[in-house]
């Protein structure tokens, strides 16, 4: 096994397209897994047995773990002498090549940087322009994190289309067949209704995956009612199948890169159905259904289920809810090691023992279930306890949101409830004082026990084992953490003021937005080239935003991505080579960053890497978009960086949207060989706003709103309130061009 990739239980190789060797490897694993489960069962002590009977310590099969923690070995001492730009840029050697309006020059001189504009389609464009015009490049962390996002989305999409989609269809059909058999066997018993529910549940899932499937007569009415609600996608409604329990049907609208791809839209809706529907432990009927589903899975589709679960967990993390790994040992304890459907009817004492033990399982950390409002005293995550067939995944950010919204956070003095979080809650819980101060200034902390809950979130984060190694999702978040460190003495002066701290927050939240966009299906959502000609040779040596730890984390993240997918047999040679190139680029930027911070001279090759940076970005963009669009030739106007994702839901009818609009240019005063110069690069343009629940935005809808799309008459239809959707705190270091008769 590759270093850095640990699989504790589920070392599954997806069999689609891999061949007999992969199938054999999986079958060997599956038999070993069953042996381990049997061994775990037989090792239960008499004391443990009594505890389980008392429902205080139900057993559990271990879930998979994927990445190995590796401490950073980077060592450096920041030693850049402080500097300040003259108001007229008189101490800047290339000031004559800078064309700005007075307001922009003022912010550039004051903060040693300024962000302008917001209409660029992709990162590489400005860097390539700079190379052509011999203007110094400023390599941003934004551009590198965006490039990783391109690879992550491309590789995940390729995996879903080439492997997981077929696996999910096969799995659903097998579970439907087994559930039908269970229903036939249990008619007339106390298990009939639970079996019928599962029969209908997997009929819905199978039809979502394969519309040619028809519902059988016993379940047709229930199935068609559910499918109608899913198709309409209008928001929170009572579920016909789940006895009127509420479900947010707007979640089934395909978003992210799933939009517009028929195969992936079916996959999206199917996995959303399997991931969201909760078989509540409070309900005896649904707890019976969970038991039947677990037995059906063991008997018919465990290999397919494990294949899908393990690969999606590698990308997005483990399920936040209880499922097969938790319920199977409980069933074996209550009914015996070889429990089957034939053992169920009449064995009510065994069911009571089972039901008591499932009640003692840990509740989910994130609530995604719509509940009727109450006095705010009931813990919604406790009420959300239950079984999910392919549960949506735990993420640190959504867990933080759960802790910092109603009803964990109480009503304020105006009887207002904090039904939606702010994205700044995440960096605040991770220790960012700037994020907290902005939240406080905006009144987001003015709720009883917000501060107390924030401290609990911080303590909880510190106590989480393997916090940053559970998945690529977690490792991506860890890669961003250096951006939250306030830069002090020894760092270049543009990094040592509050405005840069806020700009780094915008980078953090923008890359996090790309992460949420790429994993919208899986992540559980909280419910509260140079031209020719003779030209003057200009000193255009550029600069790298010096964040050594971030680049080092990104190098490791890229390697883990390649190693993990290669382990599963899901990485071809071309993609492996591209990930290797990205890892090497990250390593080079890390080395350059350390040199910059320690005032060490860069080599000619290192300056050339900065100069040609746009070409590297364009190459990576081109290779990934070929897969995403299915076309060889793409334009950045057709496939821009702008995207949107909803991250939290107020069941009263509103969702929180995070978005990236047209990209912005950043001008930075940097020291090179003891002299100051202006360098430019590209940064994210971050938005946060709310939308009606039945109008969750797709990328195409957002790009039109953001003025990134022209119609057939070459006209823009930009949202006239676009500027209001951008957080005010991001505007103090930005200065847009003011167009008038002189421009």
Look at residue 42 and give its three-state secondary structure.
helix
pLDDT at 376 over 90: no
Q: Is residue 424 included in any domain, yes or no?
A: no
* Structure token digits, residue 674: 């003891």
pLDDT at 533 over 50: no
Q: Is residue 181 included in any domain, yes or no?
A: yes
Annotate 14-34 with DSSP letters as a single string: --TTT-HHHHHHHHHHHHHHH
Q: What percent of the chain has pLDDT over 70?
A: 86
pLDDT at 139 over 70: yes
> With contact defined as beta carbons under 8 Å apart, do 613 and 545 qualify?
no
- Burial class (CB within 10 angstroms; exposed 0-12, middle 13-18, buried 19+) of 599: middle
133-142 average pLDDT score: 97
The per-residue pLDDT for range 459-518, each reduced to its tens digit, is: 988 787 778 888 999 999 999 999 999 999 999 999 999 999 999 999 999 999 999 999
pLDDT at 535 over 80: no
Q: Is residue 209 included in any domain, yes or no?
A: yes
Give pLDDT, residue 364. 80
The per-residue pLDDT for range 580-592, each reduced to its tens digit, is: 999 999 999 999 9
The per-residue pLDDT for range 25-43, each reduced to its tens digit, is: 333 233 333 333 333 333 3
pLDDT band with cut points at 50, 70 and 90 for residue 713: confident
Look at residue 368 and give its three-state secondary structure.
coil
pLDDT band with cut points at 50, 70 and 90 for residue 67: low
Residue 545 has what DSSP assignment?
-
pLDDT band with cut points at 50, 70 and 90 for residue 530: very low
Give pLDDT, residue 41. 35
- Burial class (CB within 10 angstroms; exposed 0-12, middle 13-18, buried 19+) of 291: buried
Contacts of 550 (CB under 8 A, 6+ apart): 141, 144, 479, 480, 482, 483
Contacts of 131 (CB under 8 A, 6+ apart): 137, 530, 540, 611, 612, 614, 615
Q: Is residue 138 included in any domain, yes or no?
A: no
Q: Is residue 623 included in any domain, yes or no?
A: no
Look at residue 444 and give its three-state secondary structure.
coil
- Burial class (CB within 10 angstroms; exposed 0-12, middle 13-18, buried 19+) of 189: middle
> With contact defined as beta carbons under 8 Å apart, do 497 and 111 qualify?
yes
pLDDT at 9 over 50: no
Look at residue 276 and give its three-state secondary structure.
helix
Look at residue 275 and give its three-state secondary structure.
helix
* Structure token digits, residue 307: 């294949």
pLDDT at 237 over 60: yes
277-289 average pLDDT score: 95
> With contact defined as beta carbons under 8 Å apart, do 513 and 659 qualify?
yes
> With contact defined as beta carbons under 8 Å apart, do 399 and 365 qualify?
yes
The per-residue pLDDT for range 389-411, each reduced to its tens digit, is: 999 888 899 989 999 999 899 99
* Structure token digits, residue 572: 């071809």
348-379 b/e with 16+ CB inside 10 Å = b?
Answer: eebbebbbbbbebbebbbbbbbbbeeeeeeee
End-to-end CA distance of the chain: 61
The per-residue pLDDT for range 72-122, each reduced to its tens digit, is: 679 999 999 999 999 999 999 999 999 899 999 999 999 999 999 878 999
pLDDT at 738 over 70: no
pLDDT at 65 over 90: no
Give pLDDT, residue 18. 29
Give pLDDT, residue 715. 75
pLDDT at 53 over 60: no
The winner for highest mean pLDDT among 6-10, 138-142, 318-322 is: 138-142
Q: Is the pTM of this model over 0.85?
A: yes
List the single range of 4-18, 309-323, 350-364, 668-682 with lowest mean pLDDT. 4-18
Contacts of 217 (CB under 8 A, 6+ apart): none
Number of residues assigned to the chain:
743
Give pLDDT, residue 206. 98
β-strands 543-544, 138-139 pairing: parallel
Q: Distances in Å between the alpha carbon of 171 and those of 68, 162, 274, 355?
A: 30, 15, 11, 27
Contacts of 630 (CB under 8 A, 6+ apart): none
Q: Is residue 97 included in any domain, yes or no?
A: no
Name the domain count of the chain: 1
The winner for highest mean pLDDT among 14-18, 49-53, 687-691 is: 687-691
The per-residue pLDDT for range 669-703, each reduced to its tens digit, is: 999 999 999 999 999 999 999 999 999 999 999 99
List the single range of 67-71, 211-215, 673-677, 714-718 with lowest mean pLDDT. 67-71
pLDDT at 10 over 80: no
Q: Taking all residues of the chain, what is their mean pLDDT, rounded to a whole number?
A: 87
Q: Using alpha carbons only, what angle is made at residue 364 by residues 266 and 691, rounded to the nearest 5 degrees?
A: 55
Q: What percent of the chain has pLDDT over 90?
A: 75
Query: Torsion over CA of 265, 271, 273 and 278, rounded to 10 degrees?
Result: -160
List the single range of 1-15, 75-89, 233-247, 339-353 with lowest mean pLDDT. 1-15
- Burial class (CB within 10 angstroms; exposed 0-12, middle 13-18, buried 19+) of 325: buried
Q: Which domain holds residue 202?
A: 20-67+160-370+381-390
Q: Considering Cα of 515, then 516, then 517, then 522, what sign does the dihedral take?
A: positive
Give pLDDT, residue 57. 41
Q: What are phi and psi of 110, to 5 degrees?
A: -70, -45
Determine if the peptide bond prior to 407 is cis (ω within 30°). Answer: yes
pLDDT at 382 over 70: no
């Amino acid at each position: 096994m590759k270093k850095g990739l640990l699989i504790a239980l589920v070392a599954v190789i997806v069999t689609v397209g891999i061949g007999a060797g992969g199938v054999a490897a999986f079958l060997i694993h599956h038999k070993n897994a069953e042996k381990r489960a049997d061994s775990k069962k037989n090792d239960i002590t008499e004391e443990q047995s009594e505890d389980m009977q008392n429902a205080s310590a139900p057993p559990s099969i271990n879930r998979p773990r994927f990445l190995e923690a590796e401490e950073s070995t980077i060592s450096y001492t920041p030693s850049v002498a402080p500097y300040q730009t003259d108001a007229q840029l008189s101490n800047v050697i290339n000031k004559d090549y800078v064309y700005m309006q007075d307001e922009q020059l003022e912010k550039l001189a004051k903060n040693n940087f300024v962000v302008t504009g917001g209409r660029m389609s992709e990162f590489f464009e400005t860097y390539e322009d700079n190379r052509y015009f011999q203007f110094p490049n400023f390599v941003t962390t934004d551009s590198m994190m965006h490039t990783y996002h391109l690879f992550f989305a491309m590789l995940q999409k390729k995996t879903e289309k080439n492997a997981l989609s077929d696996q999910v269809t096969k799995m659903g059909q097998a579970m439907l067949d087994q559930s039908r058999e269970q229903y036939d066997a249990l008619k007339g018993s106390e298990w009939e209704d639970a079996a019928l529910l599962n029969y209908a549940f997997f009929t819905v899932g199978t039809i979502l995956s394969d519309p040619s499937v028809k519902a059988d007569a016993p379940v047709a009415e229930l199935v068609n009612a559910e499918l109608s609600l899913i198709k309409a996608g209008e928001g929170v409604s009572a579920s016909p199948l789940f006895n009127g329990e509420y479900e947010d049907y707007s979640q089934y609208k395909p978003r992210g890169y799933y939009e517009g791809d028929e195969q992936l839209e079916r996959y999206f809706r199917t996995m959303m159905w399997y991931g969201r529907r909760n078989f509540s432990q409070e309900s005896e009927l649904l707890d019976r259904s969970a038991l039947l589903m677990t037995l059906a899975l063991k008997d018919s589709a465990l290999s397919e289920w494990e294949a899908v679960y393990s690969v999606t967990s590698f990308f997005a993390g483990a399920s936040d809810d209880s499922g097969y790994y938790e319920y199977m040992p409980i069933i074996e304890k209550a009914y015996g090691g070889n429990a089957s459907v034939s053992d169920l009817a009449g064995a009510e004492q065994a069911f009571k023992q089972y039901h008591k033990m499932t009640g003692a399982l840990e509740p989910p950390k994130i609530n995604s279930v719509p509940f009727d409002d109450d006095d705010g005293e009931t813990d919604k995550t406790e009420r959300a306890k239950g079984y999910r067939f392919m549960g949506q995944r735990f993420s640190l950010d959504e867990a933080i949101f759960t802790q910092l919204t109603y009803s964990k956070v109480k009503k304020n003095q105006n009887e207002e409830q904090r039904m939606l979080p702010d994205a700044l809650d995440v960096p605040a819980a991770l220790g960012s004082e700037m994020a907290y101060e902005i939240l406080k200034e905006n009144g987001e902390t003015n709720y009883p026990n917000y501060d107390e809950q924030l401290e609990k979130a911080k303590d909880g984060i510190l106590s989480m084992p393997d916090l940053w190694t559970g998945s690529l999702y977690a490792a991506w978040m860890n890669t961003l953490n250096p951006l939250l460190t306030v830069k002090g003495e020894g760092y270049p002066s543009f990094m040592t003021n509050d405005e840069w701290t806020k700009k780094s927050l915008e980078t953090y939240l923008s890359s996090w937005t790309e992460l949420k966009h790429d994993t919208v299906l899986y992540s559980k959502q909280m419910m509260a080239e140079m031209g020719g000609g003779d030209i003057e040779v200009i000193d255009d040596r550029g600069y790298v935003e010096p964040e050594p730890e971030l680049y080092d984390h990104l190098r490791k993240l890229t390697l883990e991505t390649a190693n993990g997918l290669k382990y599963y047999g899901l990485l071809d040679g071309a993609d492996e080579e591209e990930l290797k190139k990205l890892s090497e680029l990250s390593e080079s930027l890390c080395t350059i960053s350390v040199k910059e911070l320690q005032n060490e001279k860069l080599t000619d090759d290192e300056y050339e890497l900065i100069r040609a940076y746009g070409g590297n970005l364009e190459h990576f963009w081109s290779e990934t978009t070929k897969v995403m669009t299915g076309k060889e030739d793409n334009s950045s106007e057709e496939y821009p960086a702008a995207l949107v994702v909803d991250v939290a839901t107020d069941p009263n009818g509103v969702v929180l949207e995070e978005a990236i609009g047209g990209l912005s240019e950043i001008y930075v005063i940097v020291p090179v060989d003891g002299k100051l110069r202006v360098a430019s690069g590209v940064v994210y343009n971050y938005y946060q706003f709310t939308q009606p629940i039945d109008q969750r935005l797709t990328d195409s809808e957002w790009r039109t709103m953001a003025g990134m799309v022209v119609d057939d008459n070459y006209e823009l239809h930009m949202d006239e309130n676009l500027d209001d959707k951008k957080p005010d705190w991001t505007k103090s270091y930005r200065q847009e061009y003011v167009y008038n008769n002189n421009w």
